[in-house]
Amino acid sequence: MAKRCSLRGKSTMGQSILLGVSGGIAAYKSVDLVRRLRENNHTVRVIMTSAAQSFVTPLTFQAISGHPVGCDLLDAASEAAMDHISLARFADQIIIAPASADVIARLAQGMANDLLTAVCLATTAPIAIVPAMNHRMWHNPLTQANVARLQQFGYAVWGPDEGAQACGEYGLGRMLEPDAIVKHIENKNSVTPIHSKTIVITAGPTREPLDPVRFISNRSSGKMGYALAAAAAHSGAKVILISGPTALAPPKNVEFISIETAAQMYEAVMQQIPHCDIFIGAAAVADFRPTAVAPQKSSKNDFSNTLALTANPDIIHAVAQFKPKPLTIGFAAETHDVKLHAMRKWVDKGLDAIIANQVGLAEGGFDSDVNSVDLYSANGATHFPQQSKTELAYRLIGWISNYYDKQTKDSIKNIG
C-alpha cells in the first residue's frame, strides 16, 4: 500500500511496519534495517524478544525507530503505551528479522508466550520471517517442518542466505542483508495493475427476517471475502467491502458498508457499480426471503407447516448485466459435483470467472482459516491448493490483477 491514499484517513506515504527482533547476532543488522525503512517513508515500531535484548539494547531500537520498543507482554507501562492488540492493528506488515529457530518453532505452534508471538496471533497483517541461525539448525527437519507449517498458514519466508556464519562455519542460515529485505518489502508494494482501481467485494451472509427475532440465513463466516478485501487494499486498490453480519473487524484501509438483507446488499452494490472496475461476489446471499415479515415476535402457533418465500434478486447476475460491466468474479460453495455446478453458475450468471470450493468437509470452506479452490475462466482452470485464507486471498488477487490487465490490454487492441 505504499504511497497511496487511504479511504479512512490513514497516512498517504509508506506503510506501518512492525519489526520483530528475536535472539541472534544478526539483530545488529536490524538496526540498519529500521533506518532504511524509515528513509523509505515507512513508520516502524519494534518488538524485541528477551533473547534479542542480549544482543542489542531496546534503547538502540527506540532511538533509531523514534518509538518506544515493546519488550513484555505483561508490562503495565508498555500495555498502557500500546498493547498487543493495538500493535497487531497498527501493522500493515510484520517482519521478523532475525527470526531464530526458537521463535519460528513457537510461531508454528501458535504460542503466545511473549509480546511478539501474541501480536502475530492477533494480527490480520501479512507476516514475513527472515530466518537467521546456524546452518545445521536451519537444515534440521524440525525447523524445516516448522517453516513449512508457517508457509501453509500464509507466512512469507525471505532467505536465508548462504555464507560465512558468526559461529565460524559456512552454510545456509545467514540473515538477508537489510537491502535485500527492503527490496522484498518494496516489491510487495510495487504498483500492480489493480493499483488505484475500484474493487467492490461482497462478503458474509445475509439475514432475511421472519419477525424482529427470527431470520433465515446461510452459513458464512465472511473470512474469505474479508481476506480478499485486505489483500486488494494492500495491492493498492480502492476497496469497498459490502458485508452482512459477521464476527470480523473490517480490514484496514477499506470502505466498509454494513447491510443485513439481500435487498439492502443489492441496493448498496447497485450504487457502487457505475464507478467500479472489478466486482467480487464472495457473499453467501440468501436466495429467498420470507414473503411476509411480522412486525412483532410471532408465537410458534402462528407458523403453519409451510413458509411462503419470495426470491431475492441475484446481485452478481445484475452486476454482469451492466454495460460496460466491471470484471465480475463469483464464488460457488458446493457440497458435490463442484465443477459442474460452478461451471453452470459461471455461464448462467454471465461471470468472467468463478472460484469454486467444496464445503461440508472436515477442513476448508465455512468458518475455516484454510481453503483450497479451483478458478474457472476463459483461460481454463487454475487450482489453488489448501493454504490459509490470507495467503489464498493474495494469490487470487494476484490472478485477478493479471486477468484485469490482460483484458484491458486486449480491449485496447480491439479498439485499435
| Strand pairing report for 170-174 and 198-203 | unpaired
Q: Rule CB under 6 A: say whether 328 interacts with ligand C5P.
A: no
Which residue of 2, 34, 82, 262 would you call a contact of ligand C5P, by CB under 6 A?
Answer: 262
Give the Cα separation of 13 and 11 in Å (integer).
Answer: 6
Tell me which of 118, 128, 315, 392 binds ligand C5P, using CB under 6 A: 315
**331 near ligand C5P, judged by CB under 6 A:** yes
Name which of 24 and 330 has its Cβ closer to ligand C5P. Answer: 330
Which residues in the 195-224 window bind ligand C5P by CB under 6 A? 202
Residue 345 contacts ligand C5P per CB under 6 A: yes
Judged by CB under 6 A, the chain residues 57 through 96 that form the site for ligand C5P are none
> CA 24, CA 306: separation in Å to the nearest integer?
68
C-beta of 315 vs 397, nearer to ligand C5P: 315
Nearer to ligand C5P, 88 or 397 (CB): 397
Active-site residue, 120 included = no
Look at the alpha carbons of 107, 110, 113, 115 in this order and tell me if their dihedral is positive or negative.
positive
Smallest gap from residue 318 Cβ to ligand C5P (A): 8
Q: Which of 312, 328, 358, 390 binds ligand C5P (CB under 6 A)?
A: 312
Q: Stretches 54-62, 165-173, 277-285, 295-303: which one binds ligand C5P (CB under 6 A)?
A: 277-285
C-alpha cell at 381: 482452470
CB of 401 to ligand C5P, least distance (A): 19
| Closest C-alpha among 102, 2, 103 to residue 47 | 103
> Among 1-9, 20-28, 173-181, 281-289, which window interacts with ligand C5P (CB under 6 A)?
281-289
For ligand C5P, which is the closer residue by CB, 17 or 203? 203
332 touching ligand C5P, by CB under 6 A: yes
Determine phi and psi for 227, rounding to 5 degrees: -65, -40
Of positions 70, 160, 178, 281, contacts ligand C5P by CB under 6 A: 281
Q: Does residue number 287 form part of the binding site for ligand C5P (CB under 6 A)?
A: yes
User: Which is nearer to ligand C5P, 32 or 267 (by Cβ)?
Assistant: 267
Active-site choice (5, 71, 167, 276): 167
Question: Does residue 285 touch ligand C5P according to CB under 6 A?
Answer: yes
Residues that bind ligand C5P (CB under 6 A): 202, 262, 281, 283, 285, 287, 312, 314-316, 330-332, 345
Which residues have a catalytic role annotated? 167
